[in-house]
Amino acid sequence: MNTEQLVDLLIEACDNKRAEEIMKFDVKETSSVTDCYLICHGNSDRQVQAIADEVMDFCKEREMDYLIEGYREGKWVLIDVNNVVVHVFHKPERDYYNLERLFKYGERVEV
């Protein structure tokens, strides 16, 4: 599965749990860490965890390795899947950290 297919399927997994304002940032040319970032948010700790669960279930079904941080608190969950990093925020944390501001080189891609 190539990166674009993986990203599309991860977006679908987030959308399945009604993640809001899903944003995709293609950073192949500007990052040595990953090819793509996905940023979205939920409106409660439980919704954030449900979105993360959906992404993890997607990975488990396909026997894909992933790393996850922040799940227990449900405020900001980071899921690293191959060459895609998914950030699932609780809305107040997303507003506070405003990761989108880091992508000033036009990497945002419409979802």
Q: Which residue has the higher pLDDT, 45 or 109?
A: 45
Residues linked to residue 80 through DSSP beta bridges, in sequence order:
67, 85
Query: Over the stretch 29-88, which tens digit does the pLDDT of each residue have?
Result: 887 788 899 999 999 999 999 999 999 999 999 999 999 999 999 999 999 998 999 999
Phi, psi dihedral angles at 80 (to 5 degrees)? -100, 110
Helix locations, 17-88, DSSP H: 45-61
Helix locations, 25-111, DSSP H: 45-61, 91-97
Q: Residue 107's pLDDT band (boundaries 50, 70, 90)?
A: low
Domain at 3-108: CATH code: 3.30.460.10
pLDDT at residue 110, rounded to an integer: 56
Q: Which residue has the higher pLDDT, 111 or 13?
A: 13
Is the confidence at residue 108, as pLDDT, over 80?
A: no
Single-letter residue type at 43: N
Secondary structure of residue 92 in the 3-state scheme = helix
Structure tokens belonging to residue 64: 């894909």
